[in-house]
Amino acid sequence: MTTFVLFGGTGDLARRKIIPALYSAFVNDRLDASFRFIGAAREGLQSEDYRQRVADAIAQFGGKVSGGTPEKLAAFLAVTYYQKVDARIPEDFEGLRAQIPVSEANPTLFYLATAPNIFIPVVEQLHAHGLTAGNARVVVEKPLGRDGQSAQAINQALRQYLHEKQIYRIDHYLGKEMVQNLLALRFANSFLEPLWNRKWIQDVHISISEQVGVESRGDFYDQTGAMRDMIQNHLLQLVSIVAMEPPVNADPDSIRDEKVKALRALHKFTPEEVSKKTVRGQYRAGAVDGKAVPGYQTEPGVPTASRTETFVAIRAEIDNWRWAGVPFYLRTGKRMATRSAEITINFKPIPYAIFGNGQGPMRSNRLVISLQPEESVKLFMKAKEPGEGIRLSEVALDLDFAEVSTSRRVESYERLLLDAMHGDLTLFVRDDELMAAWNWVDPILQAWQNDSEGLKSYIAGSWGPAAASYLLAQHGAAWGEEY
Ligand code: BG6
């Protein structure tokens, strides 16, 4: 029997992502026949009340679950239970203990979708009640800490009670289809590898823009900011996959060994470099897709004088043989013009243009890997326009995965939950990766703290502060939408 226990079972993440993901796995017969789901939170609810909330969450956020029927929903709710658990009350864990058969034959997954300050007390109590024994695994959500020091403290505490192999640090970007495809693209094809280095690549852009604001999470977000919310985890994970050396095989640790080396090679900024190579911004009132939206400082839960960044752009560098001198431009922001997540590899220009005027002012070759909204890989190249004479135009070899494959799309949370249930750590972050990411981020956060002037503003619905364009323009580069 597999038991899935969700701490923070009544929270936002549970409703929006985790419950729909579990339901999708259930509907598609990806869970074992004796699967049980226990929601756990501080509220005193009966299982019946909780089932109603689970059904509501599925109705509201489970829109993409294919194959759901009233019968399947009833069957899912029949294996759903609730347990009131307050991390500070040891007796609450006795109630939980009574519901879980602890043994090697019965995997139990504890998912901690709570604030990080609850992680340690929960794991302590799980341990004290014998629940970390047997086949138990613990999934922890980001952000893991506020800086390297607090992340280290959480890691140490987790390891006091759990083996590293029982700890699943989730980063849902790693579960996205195209992120895995990037591994396939890089390491299952021969033609890219000779080009994948400083000799042929001009720069790399990794941009995740969102149209949403902070929604109901103003309070949490204001203490977090875009650097801790997105760059420290999602963007640096993408950097590590683009930049890593070929692993010796596809085992979780072989892949993670190479990713951590890439993260360690990130050039650490001095305070002077931070002011030259980073831009941070906060959105003012504006309009997204023609709809007026308020500024960040008037969002619910956000203090009116908040200095928290909702946008970050960075010119990062990797100090190793493959990448020395190749800028990695990273960018993310809330309330931007469009929703998209893209990795662009810009190749160097041709050494000499032989076609004169017919050449036209065109960008050099680039490979664009889109994670969302669509999943695609496009290789932009130049070709002759049909007709007389030679006129070149840009065309794309376009691999649209919605067209090439009709297989069921698995959302990232579903994929990662199933991996954790099956004990596959490949797409989870190892402690040394986490620390390497914090080691790079910490000096930037510190320098920002000492520089209250550096926060720029941008209008909601734009592409961020003008300084973010200048960051690239001064090196003769531009963001994709600026061409
Ligand atoms: C989460 C952040 O990790 O990722 C959110 O906390 C952000 O602030 C979200 O909106 C973006 O994820 P996705 O999959 O919608 O791009």
Model confidence band, residue 178 (pLDDT cutoffs 50, 70, 90)? very high
Dihedral of CA atoms 271, 276, 278, 282 in degrees, nearest 10, equals 100
Cα 334 to averaged position of ligand 1 atoms, centre (Å): 10
The protein residue whose alpha carbon is closest to atom 5 in ligand 1 is: 229
Model confidence band, residue 195 (pLDDT cutoffs 50, 70, 90)? very high
Q: What is the mean pLDDT of residues 261-289?
A: 98
Cα 209 to averaged position of ligand 1 atoms, centre (Å): 10
The protein residue whose alpha carbon is closest to atom 9 in ligand 1 is: 230
Q: What is the mean pLDDT of residues 49-77?
A: 92
Model confidence band, residue 68 (pLDDT cutoffs 50, 70, 90)? confident
Catalytic positions, written as ranges: 234
Residue 317 pLDDT > 80: yes
Kindly report, residue by residue over 201-227, the tens digit of the pLDDT. 999 999 999 999 998 889 999 999 999
Percent of the chain at pLDDT above 70?
99
Task: Please report the pLDDT score of residue 359 as a whole number.
Answer: 63
Task: Please report the pLDDT score of residue 103 as a whole number.
Answer: 80
Contact call for residues 236 and 258 (beta carbons, < 8 A): no
Task: Please report the pLDDT score of residue 358 as a whole number.
Answer: 62
Q: Sort 311 into a burial class: Cβ within 10 Å, 0-12 / 13-18 / 19+.
A: buried
Atom of ligand 1 nearest to the CA of 234: 3
Atom of ligand 1 nearest to the CA of 221: 8
DSSP 99-123: H---BTTB-EEEEE-S-GGGHHHHH
Contact call for residues 15 and 60 (beta carbons, < 8 A): yes
Task: Please report the pLDDT score of residue 356 as a whole number.
Answer: 73
Q: Which residues are annotated as a binding site for substrate?
A: 172, 176, 210, 229, 334
Q: What angle do CA 279, 434, 125 make, to 5 degrees?
A: 125
Model confidence band, residue 66 (pLDDT cutoffs 50, 70, 90)? confident
Q: What is the mean pLDDT of residues 164-185?
A: 95
Kindly report, residue by residue over 410-457, the tens digit of the pLDDT. 899 999 999 999 999 999 999 999 999 999 999 999 999 999 889 999
The residues that bridge with 347 in the sheet, in sequence order, are 201
Q: Max alpha carbon distance in the chain (Å)?
A: 83
| pTM of the model as a whole | 0.95
ipTM higher than 0.90?
yes
Task: Please report the pLDDT score of residue 471 as a whole number.
Answer: 98
Residue 139 pLDDT > 70: yes
Smallest CA-to-CA distance from 274 within 228, 322, 312 is with 312
**Does the beta carbon of 342 lie inside 6 Å of ligand 1?**
no
Cα 251 to averaged position of ligand 1 atoms, centre (Å): 27
Atom of ligand 1 nearest to the CA of 212: 10
Task: Please report the pLDDT score of residue 1 as a whole number.
Answer: 86
Contact call for residues 144 and 169 (beta carbons, < 8 A): yes
With the most atoms of ligand 1 within 8 angstroms of its CB, the residue from 142, 210, 224, 233 to mutate is 210
Contact call for residues 15 and 39 (beta carbons, < 8 A): no
Cα 130 to averaged position of ligand 1 atoms, centre (Å): 34
Q: What is the mean pLDDT of residues 122-139?
A: 94
Residue 360 pLDDT > 80: no
With the most atoms of ligand 1 within 8 angstroms of its CB, the residue from 179, 230, 299, 416 to mutate is 230
Q: What is the mean pLDDT of the chain?
A: 94
The protein residue whose alpha carbon is closest to atom 14 in ligand 1 is: 173
Q: What is the mean pLDDT of residues 338-364?
A: 86
Task: Please report the pLDDT score of residue 312 as a whole number.
Answer: 98
Q: Which residues are annotated as a binding site for NADP(+)?
A: 8-15, 42, 142
Kindly report, residue by residue over 384-403, the tens digit of the pLDDT. 989 988 888 899 999 988 88
Cα 48 to averaged position of ligand 1 atoms, centre (Å): 31
Residue 361 pLDDT > 70: no
**Does the beta carbon of 210 lie inside 6 Å of ligand 1?**
yes
The protein residue whose alpha carbon is closest to atom 13 in ligand 1 is: 173
Cα 240 to averaged position of ligand 1 atoms, centre (Å): 19
